[in-house]
Amino acid sequence: MRFVDEATLAATLSALPVERPRFVASGNAGPPFELLRIAADAVATFRLFMLNAPTGIPVRPGIALETPFVGAGMRDQPELHYIPARLSLVPNLFAGSRPPDVVLVHTSMPYDGSVSMGCEVNILPAAIEAVRSRGGLVVAQVNPNMPYTYGDGVLGLNEVDLALEVDRPLPNPAYGASNATTEEIGARVSTLIPDSATLQLGIGAIPDAVVAALHDRRGLRIWSEMFSDGVLELDRTGQLDRGHQLVASFCFGSRAVYEFVHRNPQVRLLRTERTNDPAVISRNPRMVSINSALQVDLFCQANASRRPSLGRASRIYSGFGGQTDFVVGAMHSLGGQAIIALPSWHQRADVSTIVPLVDGPVTSFQQTHIVSEQGGAAVWGASQAQQARSLIDQVAHPRVREELTEEARALGLVSR
């Protein structure tokens, strides 16, 4: 690792021997904003590959945006190239159709002869392996605010070519506060979670509401694509099984989350190929996968990636993410459950989230439970008619139940 100033880094990037290089950069809570700014100023045209890129990344003509999971910084951009892929398989892209020329990572300060990718491990180990095999560059934004986490994100100093020291706070997630609807959903989902369950939780008001409702559960374990502040409360109250490490591929939350994971041997942040491998997920006993969706239809197909079209071509909102991986893994776990939790009504669009048929590509299907603030439907093992009936009667908003019943009859799902 050689520390350089901005001018030296800019000169190095501008001299890359590739006409249109591909940069792979940390996303989620770890975007290396300063490195991205320097790259955008120094390189006229390049491809930028990031997962869940936040606002603030460079967006201009000449920068082609590539991602399998669209974040706010790339959403609706004209230069967006969305790549449909299960998250567990995204690392394979770097050895195949999307080889990187430069990897930009956001790391901790050096410690014990190494740096850590901190809160964002995810797909980056595979990207670094691919770029090093091609003779490309690994550049680190070294930040005293980035925690040092153990696992697959630890890099020897000789694995990083250039480094720029930057003192910048890490971003915190912005999502809606809990309300009566999310609290009711959380309470209903919590009744499905037994003691000693292994949890996969996402980010947002619903996962936090689920955690808040688990006040009497004990021996819980975490094997998740990511975790946020809710897990800290489980740790504080002694509800986590201390005999098992907390495993994820990235974390995203308040400053308290980053302080919690810093040099914490109880936490392991691993590469996506392991955390999201359905076969590995299935080895966790009583694996409970909790995900959300934009729509669920009467065939129990969930759309979590595209905005409802409302008569127009649907637009990509996010992507498959880890939902496909964890639904499959949880379904194959001994005593496992795959739960889709969502409000029955989309307030902003003023439409039902339970629909006759999703109007875009399906993200996942064949879960065990669909839950809203109205109630829950146990769909695994039920006939298609029973699934449709329980979704209408127990999950959908009352104002659309009659309409959904008519649609179900037209689809041949129910006879009454």
How many other CB atoms are there within 10 angstroms of residue 67's CB atom?
A: 25
pLDDT tens track for 216-262? 999 999 999 999 988 998 999 999 999 999 999 999 999 999 999 99
> In this predicted structure, what is the pLDDT of residue 202?
77
HSE (CB half, 13 Å, CA atoms) of 256? Answer: 9
Q: pLDDT grade, residue 307 (50/70/90)?
A: confident
| Average pLDDT of every residue of the chain | 94
Q: Is the pLDDT of residue 312 over 60?
A: no
Which of these ranges, 20-34, 80-94, 176-190, 306-320, has the smallest mean pLDDT? Answer: 306-320
CA distance 17 to 37: 20
> In this predicted structure, what is the pLDDT of residue 205?
86
b vs e for 122-131, b when ≥16 Cβ sit within 10 Å of the residue's Cβ? bbbbbbbbbb
pLDDT tens track for 161-218? 999 999 999 988 766 667 999 999 999 999 999 999 999 987 788 988 999 999 899 9
- Asked if 192 and 288 count as a contact pair (C-beta separation under 8 A), the reply is yes
**Average pLDDT, integer, range 113-137:** 97
Q: Is the pLDDT of residue 33 over 50?
A: yes
pLDDT tens track for 262-284? 999 999 999 999 999 999 999 99
Q: pLDDT grade, residue 416 (50/70/90)?
A: low
CA distance 281 to 40: 39
Closest CA to 22 of 151, 136, 168, 165: 136
Q: Which domains does the chain have, with CATH numbers?
A: 2-165 (3.40.1080.10), 180-410 (3.40.1080.20)
pLDDT tens track for 359-410? 888 999 899 999 999 999 999 999 999 999 999 999 999 999 999 999 999 9
DSSP assignment of 167-180, as one string?
--PPP----PPP-H
Q: Which residue has the tokens 């639904």?
A: 327
Write out the two tokens for 189: 């989902």
Q: Is the pLDDT of residue 311 over 70?
A: no
Write out the two tokens for 33: 């904003």
84, 239, 382 from 313: Cα distances, Å:
17, 45, 32
54, 62, 94, 336 from 30: Cα distances, Å:
10, 24, 19, 31
CA dihedral (63, 69, 71, 75) positive or negative: positive
- Asked if 116 and 153 count as a contact pair (C-beta separation under 8 A), the reply is yes
Q: Which residue has the tokens 């669209």?
A: 70
- Asked if 353 and 294 count as a contact pair (C-beta separation under 8 A), the reply is yes
Give the active site residues: 225
**pTM for the complete prediction?**
0.94
